A = this chain, B = another copy of it.
Amino acid sequence: MPRSLVILSGGQDSTTCLYWALARFGRDHVTALTFDYGQRHRIELDCAATVAALAGVPQTVLPIDTFTALGGSALTDSGVAVQRELDPKTRLPNTFVPGRNLIFITFAAAYAYPRGIQHLVGGMAQTDYSGYPDCREATLKALEQALRLGMEFDFTLHTPLMFKTKKETVELARDLGALPALAHTHTCYHGRQPPCGECPACILRARGFAGAGIADPLVERFKGGVA
């Protein structure tokens, strides 16, 4: 069975992808890779570690200090407030770190290459409400080609959520047995546990679970004050 590397942020989508990889490649052929890139909410890293442990796969955390040095994005810079509105110039949310997913995937390939791991898995989706252009299939196909040529290694980049709605992603998580792990993921843009329920990320997540007719195990975990 070929080996795979899953880019695991500790969020809903990458956790679902981790369980997709378990089903596709088998537990002994899955490794998780998490980036410590100066996330504003360190809870993301805790979630990723918990999810990897629940899934029973080894996890590596790689640091990237460059985004913080690049500055100016709300996801990494605590001096920049998250805005609901899109940037009027770029029409992107100001949480956009230009090329962030390109960097993640390229570093994942650099990690995979000397280990002979050919299959890379990421939670990128075109249907993501925020429309990050580095999540789109055309972008990732071009990057896959650059990685194949640039490392002379026949990488395949899997993005099982690419064309799924959030509802369909929840249904996939259910079918893969990922719901217990989703209780330990993060989504909230404000980094809150229990989630704030009001930010765009919380609202989107809630809609997905509501659409699938499934109770969000993360919300359930905090009901009645139990953490």
Contact = CB atoms under 8 A, between A and B. Distances in A.
Nearest to A92: B152
Interface residues of A, number: 38
A209 interface: no
Nearest to A60: B69
Contact of A152 (B97, B111, B133, B146): B133
A150 interface: yes
Contact of A110 (B99, B110, B114): B99
Given A98-B113, A107-B103, A150-B143, A64 B62 contact: no
A83 interface: no
A151 interface: yes
Nearest to A101: B150
A97 B109 CA distance: 11
Contacts of A147: 99, 102
A124 to B, nearest CB: 11
Contacts of A102: 106, 146-147, 150
Interface string A173-198: 00000000000000000000000000
| Listed residue (A97, A98, A150) with the most chain B CB atoms within 10 angstroms of its CB | A150
Nearest to A149: B139
A201 to B, nearest CB: 21
Contacts of A72: 114
A62 B103 CA distance: 14
B142 A107 contact: no
Nearest to A116: B89
Q: Give 10 nearest A-B pairs by CB, closest first.
A: A142-B146, A134-B150, A139-B149, A143-B146, A142-B145, A98-B113, A139-B150, A98-B110, A99-B110, A133-B152
